[in-house]
Amino acid sequence: MSCHDTRTIRAAGESRVPNTTPEAAAPPVHEARSLTGGAKTACIMLDGKAYTLRITRAGKLILTK
């Protein structure tokens, strides 16, 4: 499965059943518009540092520090 498989997209906070086989494990998938709460930007924290996730008019994602 790839990150482009839209069948696995879930809303923020929605859980999924854990998969116990390592070869079938997939990275978590998050819908960008739910991360931004419907706005164009969201603040994402990593190790105490803030990053800005922005959705462009063309529907692309930009992540900046």
Average confidence (pLDDT) per 10 residues, the chain, 65 residues: 48 57 81 94 97 97 97
Tell me, rounded to whole angstroms, the distance of Cα 52 from its chain centroid.
Answer: 13
The pLDDT of residue 25 is: 85
- Estimate the share of the chain in helix, then strand, then coil, as percent rounded to the nearest 5: 15, 30, 55
Query: Cα separation of 35 and 24, whole Å?
Result: 25
